[in-house]
Structure 1
Amino acid sequence: MMTCSILAGMLATTSAVADDALRSAIAAPNRNPASIARDGARHPYDVLSFLGVKPDSSVAEIFPLTGYWTEILAPYLHDKGRYVAVLGDPAGNDNERYYATFPPALQAKFAAAPSRYGNMRTAALGVHHLNFLPPNSVGMVLTFRNLHTWMGDSDVKPVLAAFYRALKPGGILGIDDHRARPDRKQDPQALDGYVREDYAIALIEKAGFKLVAESEIEQNPRDTTHWPQGVWTLPPTYRLGNVDHAKYQAIGEADNFLLKFRKVP
């Protein structure tokens, strides 16, 4: 019979191997230099560890955009897990067409490195394609800085319902977004790109999820949220161009909340 000490040692070894694999994926020299430059603001190791991503996890990432997380998750999950890049539905509205594919250079990069990205799969999500994966088929759905977009398009309720359907019972929904100040009334469309954390939690729990953990990994107290072009005033967008560029550079990327939910019956 296996003793508790042997079992604990095996679990510790497995955890250490997973940690090393994740750190290696983040430190890979072939990641986009622009993405690497953002690691200090996005904290990839801490974020993925908090969400509980393991080498054998099945993960659907919603709207990977420039592939920041794809370049980490696809290699990390390549051997034992499953990574699905959920792109926008080109038959939907203009916003979805923008997200319909990875940029050509990124697509070429993925195709040229099958040992890292060969097991990656894609799916489509949009208002006309909400059944983006079979029901109860993935253990985790992760989406980064997209909630405000769905609020602005009035798509948030059907999108959250789509996540619920795709997740296995007990599956995890990980979500972050730009945090609005709690003393400000929430704009239901989040037109400045900011969402109150309590508002987000209530919205997501109404869709059938239960909040299990919150994290301050991505906090930035320098972000007051009062900017002329909303969150896009700040890096990496710099919507004002050269106007007060140094000021906004010093503030850094937005203050974000990070939330972990579980699918419940």
Structure 2
Amino acid sequence: MRMRWVGLAAASALMAAGLAGCVVISADGGERTIVQASSATSAPDAYAAIVGDPSRPAADVERDAARHPAEILAFARVAPGDRIADVRPGGGYFTTLFSLAVGPSGHVYGFIPNRTAERDNVTFAPVDERLENTTKVNGDLDAASFAFGEPLDIVFMSQEYHDFTIPRFGVDVDKMNARVFEVLKPGGLYILIDHEAAPGSGISVAGTLHRIEGAALRKQVEAAGFVFEGESAVLRNPADDHSINVFDAAIRGRTDQFVYRFRKPG
């Protein structure tokens, strides 16, 4: 059954009204500064209609407390009419939210790398069937097959970037970031969420702890020409000491995660 559009006009108005209120950490002359909300109504409140849409699967709703979807949508500046690539979307948690947020005038591409397509295509199939404005795309992240037939407003990766630095995945990360840069519109956004690693570890624990140091990721992305715009602290957890595997029951679902926003100049 295809998803119906519920309350889209009201949600769009809220989104337009509330974008200025997001709390982020931005780069300013090499120093990180917290930018406080500019009004009593924060940007996450503007996305409440999207997160509260009754058509969302119950299993997704159960994950909301840990994933803070309203804040993530606000930080990513998702708007009606946007074209978004959700890279390796899994069961479509964010794909569904993006689909509701961009509405019938927008489109969401669930990009599944060839390397994991045999499994991931099956997982994503019910999502693609349920949502009216989505398309599944298979290809290689670091090749011309990372393509969508139109310029994108946002490329989004949640907890996936670290995997692409692991040699067995066979991804040239520099080429991947360059390809993301190419498919985005001028001014388009590259949103990355991942599990933080210990300072100085770089990408060395990506294959063991499934973490990546935020500073190392940022350096790789900026080398492709992106401008770092800021960080949301909504998924940060200072109690995580970055020393154990993210799938360990002691920390799973509660890891310290960075949420970065990069912009293609223009």
TM-score exceeds 0.5: yes
- Deviation at residue 29 of structure 1 after TM alignment: 2.8
Is the Cα–Cα contact under 8 Å of residues 196 and 211 in structure 2 kept in the other structure? yes
Q: Is 1:123 aligned with 2:123?
A: no
Question: Aligned pair in 2 of structure 1 residues 98, 47: CA closer, same or farther (>3 Å)?
Answer: same
Is the Cα–Cα contact under 8 Å of residues 215 and 257 in structure 1 kept in the other structure? yes
Is the Cα–Cα contact under 8 Å of residues 135 and 168 in structure 1 kept in the other structure? no
Alignment-derived partner of residue 15 in structure 1: 16
Q: Is 1:65 aligned with 2:90?
A: yes
Q: Specify which of 143, 148, 152 is matched with residue 138 of structure 1.
A: 152
CA distance in 1, matches of 2:14, 2:193: 30
Letter in 2 for 1:151: T
Q: Is 1:75 aligned with 2:136?
A: no
> Number of residues paired by the alignment?
227
**1:43-54 equivalence runs, <5 A:** 43-54=68-79
TM-score by length of 2: 0.75
Is the Cα–Cα contact under 8 Å of residues 179 and 255 in structure 1 kept in the other structure? yes
CA distance in 2, matches of 1:50, 1:12: 17
Alignment-derived partner of residue 32 in structure 2: none
Is the Cα–Cα contact under 8 Å of residues 15 and 79 in structure 2 kept in the other structure? no
Is the Cα–Cα contact under 8 Å of residues 135 and 165 in structure 1 kept in the other structure? no
- Deviation at residue 26 of structure 1 after TM alignment: 1.1
- Deviation at residue 262 of structure 1 after TM alignment: 0.8
Is the Cα–Cα contact under 8 Å of residues 135 and 167 in structure 1 kept in the other structure? no
Is the Cα–Cα contact under 8 Å of residues 226 and 264 in structure 2 kept in the other structure? yes
Q: Is 1:97 aligned with 2:122?
A: no
Tell me which structure has the larger Cα radius of gyration: 1
Q: Is 1:199 aligned with 2:197?
A: no
Q: Deviations for 1:127-182, whole angstroms, at most 9, x for unmatched residues?
A: 58543225771111111111111011251222212211111122111111001122
Is the Cα–Cα contact under 8 Å of residues 154 and 189 in structure 1 kept in the other structure? no
Letter in 1 for 2:185: K
Question: Which stretch shows the higher mean deviation, 48-57 or 16-25?
Answer: 16-25
Q: Specify which of 181, 199, 202 is matched with residue 186 of structure 1.
A: 202
CA distance in 1, matches of 2:204, 2:145: 25
Q: Is 1:257 aligned with 2:258?
A: yes
Q: Deviations for 1:104-144, whole angstroms, at most 9, x for unmatched residues?
A: 54455x1xxxxxx2122222232585432257711111111
Indicate the RMSD between aligned Cα atoms, in angstroms: 2.8
Question: Aligned pair in 2 of structure 1 residues 105, 58: CA closer, same or farther (>3 Å)?
Answer: closer
Is the Cα–Cα contact under 8 Å of residues 56 and 96 in structure 2 kept in the other structure? yes
Question: Aligned pair in 2 of structure 1 residues 175, 107: CA closer, same or farther (>3 Å)?
Answer: same
CA distance in 1, matches of 2:155, 2:46: 21
CA distance in 1, matches of 2:15, 2:60: 28
- Deviation at residue 203 of structure 1 after TM alignment: 0.8
Letter in 1 for 2:261: K
Letter in 1 for 2:264: K
Q: Is 1:87 aligned with 2:112?
A: yes
- Is there any run of 5+ residues in structure 1 with no aligned partner, and where? 1-10, 111-116, 235-246
Is the Cα–Cα contact under 8 Å of residues 177 and 221 in structure 2 kept in the other structure? yes
Alignment-derived partner of residue 35 in structure 1: 60
Question: Aligned pair in 2 of structure 1 residues 221, 77: CA closer, same or farther (>3 Å)?
Answer: same
Secondary structure of residue in 2 paired with 1:102:
helix
CA distance in 1, matches of 2:147, 2:220: 22
CA distance in 2, matches of 1:203, 1:263: 14
Identity of aligned residues (%): 24
- Deviation at residue 25 of structure 1 after TM alignment: 2.3
